[in-house]
Structure 1
């Protein structure tokens, strides 16, 4: 005789089964209070990395990024920065990371490599980390001491024009 978990009725009886088993409940990841909620002025960003390049002044390039910088995005970012650093007339490169929603140590290493390349070519590199995850990564790892960090693109532009 086989007994079901959901009922004490045996499976080989002739009685119709009237008890319907309850489906298992999916596990829901727990969240801390306020996690995932947006405060005023924040935007939910697509994790795909978006890149844009602007030339606000002769010899100055601003590379803005929006999304995630991780191991998957590193080759794209590295190639874009390498291309900008090999430009013949470039005096200053500004990397705007203020809209980055996630960065890991790959992104930190990428910034250090870009800084070394810029120094080798005599180009000033300025970084705008913003107030979020990029700022935290740079502070925690001490990378900010090796970079020219600024609070905004306009501040970085002012420094780039005076050098």
Structure 2
């Protein structure tokens, strides 16, 4: 499909829905906000994190146009440090307009899940995220393949149905 658009471009062109399924227990150990949180130096998840502030702005812009944002996370319990960090920062996502749910991995055993995290935009375009073994983003791939789209949308909806809303999810 050529060049993969930026998140800003993808969200700007989204008309009605953006869903995101996260299935890893750790992401981007190089993230300075994560390091600050681990060291107890991040009392505010938004703080001076320009990238996170930018993301929240894109979400607000899309939701103000009526785009529904849903993010689901399949997590191991007890949760990893990174998942605890995500839980800490997720209220800012919710306030920007995202609807977030959490599913303990043990409750996902009978769900057919793709091998990679992904986004689905407007139920027609899938952005597949490829990570290295230690959680750094390696590559992004855009596809309209109907089989991939069906697998991703079915997996997301199955997870969403079972998952616990953010405001009710308690870390172990």
Higher RCO, 1 or 2 (CA under 8 Å, sep at least 6)?
2
Of structures 1 and 2, the larger Rg is shown by 1
When normalised by structure 1's length, the TM-score is 0.33
TM-score normalised according to structure 2 size: 0.31
Greater helix fraction, Structure 1 or Structure 2: 2
